[in-house]
Amino acid sequence: MRCTLSIKVILLVFCLTACLVPTALSAKAHLYISPDMQHVTIGQTFDVVVNIQDVADSPADSSMRGASVKIAFDPSVLQVVSQTEGSFLRTFGSTLPFPFHDNSAGWAQFDNAILGGSGVLAHGPGDLYSIRFEAVTNGTTT
């Protein structure tokens, strides 16, 4: 038996100073998931990586200090096993990752930010985080 996976991603970006101040990425930066589709068997675990690219190195463009990514999935088909911080934000300094999920409701969220007030901003491409799922039944989820 196989189940097919494609995932919708919602991105919220924030800036960390003395408090969290919401900002938005410009149209240049965007997220993508790799792989965007997988065929797996029931009981199999597999990883999905949330990547970001085209984050500019100027605050006027789309540089960033942190991100909050939420992924929705059909909990009757998939269950989250674990979430792991990617290398993108860590490249620019110490980070504070905070993964959480609700397998009953069918969502996983990963918040992360570069710590400190040095003014360092993340830019370029990279992986924000990976999520390990287990296929629990036959089906498709988007």
Please identify every stretch of the chain with a pLDDT value under 50, giving residue numbers as ranges: 1-27
CA nearest neighbour of 48 among 37, 58, 40: 37
**How many whole angstroms separate alpha carbon 104 and alpha carbon 72?**
11
The encoded tokens of residue 121 equal 């901003």
Q: What is the pLDDT of residues 83-92, one digit of tens each?
A: 999 999 999 9
Query: pTM value?
Result: 0.76
**How many whole angstroms separate alpha carbon 103 and alpha carbon 131?**
13
Bridge-based pairing state of the strands 20-23 and 8-16: antiparallel
Peptide bond into 59 cis (omega under 30): no
The CA-atom distances, in angstroms, between 34 and each of 78, 113, 126, 135 are 17, 22, 12, 17
